[in-house]
Amino acid sequence: MNVKGILTVMAMLMDGMLFKADLGRSAFFNSCTHSDDPCNGDFDCDGDVDGIDAALFKLDFGRNPFSNPCPACEVGEWCIY
């Protein structure tokens, strides 16, 4: 595997680890509304990290600058609670 491939795999692993760390957060368990500990996986901005967020995560998983790059990120907060 070349350097580009190694970096791509490392980036995908980091994305997966960040998402899995927050999976299961909800209004009842470690709420996403804490400004000092935001959810990295609340993609639909409904205050939890659940199966819907997992489905959205899987849609884009594996994208990288070399294969199907993501659109430019918007600057600012993703979710406003």
Which pLDDT tens digit goes with each residue over 21-63? 888 888 888 888 766 777 888 888 888 899 999 998 888 887 8
Considering the domain boundaries, does residue 53 fall inside one? yes
Considering the domain boundaries, does residue 13 fall inside one? yes
Considering the domain boundaries, does residue 75 fall inside one? no
User: Pick from 9, 11, 6, 21: which is nearest to 53 by CA?
Assistant: 21
pLDDT tens digits for 64-81?
Answer: 788 888 888 777 777 776
Considering the domain boundaries, does residue 71 fall inside one? no
Considering the domain boundaries, does residue 44 fall inside one? yes
Considering the domain boundaries, does residue 12 fall inside one? yes
User: Pick from 65, 53, 49, 72: which is nearest to 10 by CA?
Assistant: 65
Considering the domain boundaries, does residue 76 fall inside one? no
Q: How many domains does the chain have?
A: 1
Integer-rounded Cα Rg, in Å, for the chain is 14
**Residue 25's domain spans which residues?**
3-60
Q: pTM value?
A: 0.69
Considering the domain boundaries, does residue 33 fall inside one? yes
